[in-house]
Chains A and B, each alone.
Chain A
Amino acid sequence: GAVVSQHPSRVICKSGTSVKIECRSLDFQATTMFWYRQFPKQSLMLMATSNEGSKATYEQGVEKDKFLINHASLTLSTLTVTSAHPEDSSFYICSARGLLGGGYEQYFGPGTRLTVT
């Protein structure tokens, strides 16, 4: 299957700083990318959906000024957590959807563990 990478896999940052997470589709063009947040032993919670070249659509309750999403190209989307606080500590997963094998398929990145101290 297609590959989606995320960088970094782990990051520790201090409270009040910003951190950027990159999500790349390595061998296909991702027309849409999704960002999820997962707390321990819980399901994936959709944060936002982004289409290449358009502004992201955020789910209710997700602060768009805090979680900045950019989808500038068909292979790259970034999530920037601004002015991070300890409660932002979580596992963030991106997912990319593109036209593969005659249909739209969706693949997940390996996730990024963010710890805010």
Chain B
Amino acid sequence: AQTVTQSQPEMSVQEAETVTLSCTYDTSESDYYLFWYKQPPSRQMILVIRQEAYKQQNATENRFSVNFQKAAKSFSLKISDSQLGDAAMYFCAYRSSGNTPLVFGKGTRLSVIA
């Protein structure tokens, strides 16, 4: 079974600085998808960024980018120019190809210090 590991339960960053959240996963599959979700205090899950495993290019969405290392099974999220609104729980997630459920990591709580 696939597993997703987030080794940082909590992180903090100064406003306007950059922070990187770590995620590793374990799978024997070659075709899959990786995601980062944000869950603010409202608890609404928000998709931050996604990466298809077959794409070598790292995904970027404005201030959010990933470092996808397929061989190392690593998928870290970099948040640049951190803003107060970025404070939330961040979950890394994996999905196999096909109609399979997301597998979530345990999450990293990010605090942004003004």
Cβ-defined partner of B44 (8 Å) among A41, A49, A104, A108: A108
What is the total number of residues of chain A having a CB less than 8 Å from a CB of chain B? 22
Contact residues in B for A110 (Cβ distance below 8 Å): 42-44
* Listed residue (B45, B47, B104, B107) with the most chain A CB atoms within 10 angstroms of its CB: B45
Contact residues in A for B107 (Cβ distance below 8 Å): 42-43
Q: How far is the CA of A42 from the CA of B105 in the complex (A)?
A: 10
Q: Is B101 an interface residue (CB 8 A)?
A: yes
Interface of B is mostly: loop
Contact residues in B for A114 (Cβ distance below 8 Å): none
Given A43-B91, A43-B107, CB of A34 within 8 Å of CB of B101 = yes
* Listed residue (A44, A93, A104) with the most chain B CB atoms within 10 angstroms of its CB: A44
Q: How far is the CA of A95 from the CA of B104 in the complex (A)?
A: 13
Using a CB–CB cutoff of 8 Å, the interface residues on chain B facing chain A are: 42-45, 47, 91, 99, 101-102, 104-107, 109
Using a CB–CB cutoff of 8 Å, the interface residues on chain A facing chain B are: 1, 31-32, 34, 38, 41-44, 46, 49, 51, 91, 93, 95, 97, 104, 106-108, 110-111
Q: Is there an interface contact between A108 and B105, defined as CB atoms closer than 8 Å?
A: no
Q: Is there an interface contact between A31 and B101, defined as CB atoms closer than 8 Å?
A: no
Q: How far is the CA of A17 from the CA of B43 in the complex (A)?
A: 26
6 new A-B contacts at CB < 8 Å, known A43-B91, A43-B105, A49-B101 = A42-B106, A44-B91, A93-B45, A95-B102, A97-B99, A111-B43
Q: How far is the CA of A97 from the CA of B98 in the complex (A)?
A: 12
Contact residues in B for A104 (Cβ distance below 8 Å): 99
Q: How far is the CA of A95 from the CA of B102 in the complex (A)?
A: 10
Contact residues in A for B91 (Cβ distance below 8 Å): 43-44
Contact residues in B for A107 (Cβ distance below 8 Å): 47
